[in-house]
Amino acid sequence: MRFRILELCKEAGINQTELADKIGLSRVGLSKAINGNPTVDTLERIAMALNVPITELFSTDKKDLYGHVEYKGIVYTIKSRFDLENLLKMIE
């Protein structure tokens, strides 16, 4: 599993040292957490510091397509390109 923490730091305009300070870890401690097996508590603190849901910290295969689309009060779950294409055909 790969984390997106450094990517999210860049998007937030902070560096790894600043993030470490925000969550009460040393820069080395944060680096070990990112590259190792962080605790849920550490992941929660990182997510709060970056103002993102904890799920945003995890990378996904860019080939995967998953999401929810609300259209006219109905929520559709999209799990593939096929689902998305069918939804688009339905609402045309």
Pick the closest to residue 3 from 22, 19, 18 (CA basis): 19
The confidence band for 49, taking pLDDT boundaries of 50, 70 and 90, is very high
Q: Where are the domains of the chain?
A: 5-57, 61-92
Could you read off the pLDDT of 50-81 as tens digits, one per residue?
A: 998 888 888 765 556 677 888 899 888 887 77
- Give me the half-sphere count of Cα atoms (radius 13 Å) on the Cβ side of residue 86: 8
Compute the mean pLDDT over every residue in the chain, rounded to the nearest whole number.
86
What CATH code would you report for 5-57? 1.10.260.40
Q: What is the pTM of this model?
A: 0.63
- State the pLDDT at residue 91: 85
